[in-house]
Amino acid sequence: MATVIVTVVLAFLGYLTTYLNGLRLAQRQARLARVNQQLSDFYGPLFALMESNSRTYDTFSATYARPDGRDPFQHEIPPSEEELAQWRTWATTVFIPTIRAMRDVVVGKADLLIEEEMPQVLLQLCAHVSGYEITAARWAAGDYEEHLSLIPFPGRELREYTRDRFARLKAEQSRLLGRRYGLSR
């Protein structure tokens, strides 16, 4: 009788161990799937667009820098008509489409946020885009009175946010895959 009880208890413990291990693996797979989706659909595109936008803006600033190294919009002397025309070309061709794409990621994939609430930096980005859409509409109508969004671009904060969240998720992805982050195989 004691042998039967020991056998039943061992069988139950084996089943319980198998069940709990399967549950843990399923949870890990679900978390990995979520992290992969966050990276592929939200933080990856947002990071790439932000980095691209930053580098392109740096190129614009260097190309049209004043003798003291500052770009025309960060200078006491207002931009010339030629500089403003160049800005409109760069803005309509590169900057506005890129920030719209960033806004579309934020609005369309907000369910993939790490945070419980929408971060202020992302709300600022969306507002900035709306401000530029008004400016671009005025340009299309021939009104060149304004050249910037009425709402400032949260450049430094957004760059820090996208870099931090992307790196954090890549580290978690690597951990879930059983690799150390930063080490290649």
For residue 87, the tally of other CB atoms under 10 A from its CB is 19
Question: How far apart, in whole angstroms, are the C-alpha atoms of residue 15 and residue 41?
Answer: 38
- Read off the pTM: 0.82
- Walk along the chain (185 residues) in steps of 10 and give the mean pLDDT of each run: 75 68 74 95 98 95 89 86 95 97 98 97 98 96 94 96 97 87 48
| Cβ proximity of 104 and 129 under 8 Å | no
